[in-house]
A and B are shown apart, each in its own frame.
Chain A
Amino acid sequence: MDLGPHAAFILGAYGFTTLVILGLVAHALIDRRAQDRALARLAEEPQTQQPSRGRR
């Protein structure tokens, strides 16, 4: 397909949009995973980090 003399502007616009959308999707997935990990850590903490009496 011939995009004519302004091909760089058209491809630039689509390239930038693709990057931003992929960034949004990646951020959504990474952020979700981070919260899942934090919740999992909190769920197991009471068993592993019981504060023992008299210490500290």
Chain B
Amino acid sequence: MPARYTRAMAMGLLTRLAQPGHFMRWSGALLPWVAGLAIVLLAIGQYLTWFVVPPDYQQGETVRIMYIHVPAAWMAVFFYGAMAVSALGTLIWRHPLADVAQRAAAPIGAAFTLICLVTGSLWGKPMWGTYWVWDARLTSMLVLFLIYCGLLALWRTIEDPNRAARAVAILTLVGAVNLPIIKFSVNWWSTLHQPASILRMGGPTIYASMLYPLLVMIAAASVLGLALHLQAMRTEILRRRVRTLTILEAERLDAALLAPQAA
């Protein structure tokens, strides 16, 4: 089959899946499985973290904090990346589901960023001797948290969802500049935070017995994030349905009240 037909079929399928009615159907069927998988992966990940991972020769038992800190950091950055892609969907294709996806992702991304900051701080005190330093990685993560909070505040400020969607999409894309800064902050500046030890040229620098449990926890956090996001998107679609129906109902009541006066 020629490539352009395959591409057209794939686009057609994507368009169908992204139609809100279809989305509600397939996501409803998928959600229990995703949530179940998240629970299973979390259970395996936690078993590995507490009973298989050996204490680190330098960090001792505090290395166990890494098994929530690193997955939380990954989710914080991943959700912002997903929001930036959704922002393009809102601005270029004006797809209603793009804004729904973005709106649903923001609180989850903010929560994971907060987990990353707090667990990092609780690891920093015994290992670095301080809860916080204004180091490039820590500061750029704090900026990410503030951007998440700013976006959530902006949504609440603008009443009309369509106007809010455009404003939020633009601010999201401006804030996306922070993502490469977070990733490369440990290379560009002299930081207290350690450089990358998984995604780096030359392969991971973590020994296998510590790396695989970390990868399981990253997978668990990703599937949990997906389950929370699907649920939040479904609720957001219903919230917009409620808003539309409330406006229609108000218009109907107005018309009914005005009708006798006109007669």
Interface residues of A (CB under 8 A from B): 1-7, 9-10, 12-14, 16-17, 20-21, 23-25, 27-28, 31-32, 35-36, 38-39, 42, 45-46, 51, 53-54, 56
The answer for the CA separation of A51 and B259 in the assembled complex, in Å, is 11
Interface CB pairs A-B, < 8 A, 28: A3-B61, A4-B60, A5-B126, A9-B62, A9-B65, A9-B126, A12-B122, A13-B118, A13-B122, A14-B65, A16-B119, A16-B122, A17-B119, A24-B108, A24-B111, A27-B107, A28-B228, A28-B235, A31-B239, A32-B234, A32-B238, A35-B241, A39-B238, A39-B242, A42-B245, A42-B246, A46-B249, A54-B260
Contact B242 A35 (CB under 8 A): yes
Q: A1-B50, A24-B108, A51-B256 are in contact. Are A10 and B242 (CB under 8 A)?
A: no
Chain B, 35-94, CB within 8 A of any chain A CB: 50, 55, 60-62, 64-65, 68-69, 72
Q: Is B125 an interface residue (CB 8 A)?
A: yes
Q: Is B257 an interface residue (CB 8 A)?
A: yes
Query: Contact size class for B?
Result: 35 or more
- The residues of A that contact B239 with a CB separation of less than 8 Å are 31, 35
The answer for the CA separation of A12 and B177 in the assembled complex, in Å, is 32
Tell me if A's interface is mostly helix, strand, loop or mixed: helix
- The residues of B that contact A12 with a CB separation of less than 8 Å are 122
Contact of A6 among B72, B126, B253, B259 (CB under 8 A): B126
Contact A35 B245 (CB under 8 A): no
Distance in angstroms from B57 CB to nearest chain A CB is 13
Contact B238 A10 (CB under 8 A): no
The answer for the CA separation of A5 and B258 in the assembled complex, in Å, is 75
Q: Give B131's nearest chain A residue, CB to CB.
A: A9
Q: Is B231 an interface residue (CB 8 A)?
A: yes
- Given A10-B62, A31-B235, output 15 extra A-B contacts at Cβ < 8 Å: A4-B61, A6-B61, A10-B122, A16-B118, A20-B115, A23-B111, A24-B107, A32-B235, A35-B242, A39-B245, A42-B245, A42-B249, A51-B256, A51-B257, A56-B257
- The residues of A that contact B245 with a CB separation of less than 8 Å are 39, 42
Contact of A20 among B111, B252, B256 (CB under 8 A): B111
The answer for the CA separation of A17 and B66 in the assembled complex, in Å, is 12
Q: Is B100 an interface residue (CB 8 A)?
A: no
- The residues of B that contact A5 with a CB separation of less than 8 Å are 126
Distance in angstroms from A51 CB to nearest chain B CB is 4
Q: Give A36's nearest chain B residue, CB to CB.
A: B238
Contact A14 B68 (CB under 8 A): yes
Contact A17 B242 (CB under 8 A): no
- The residues of B that contact A7 with a CB separation of less than 8 Å are 61
Contact of B68 among A6, A13, A38, A53 (CB under 8 A): A13
Contact A38 B242 (CB under 8 A): yes
Contact B238 A24 (CB under 8 A): no
Contact A21 B224 (CB under 8 A): yes
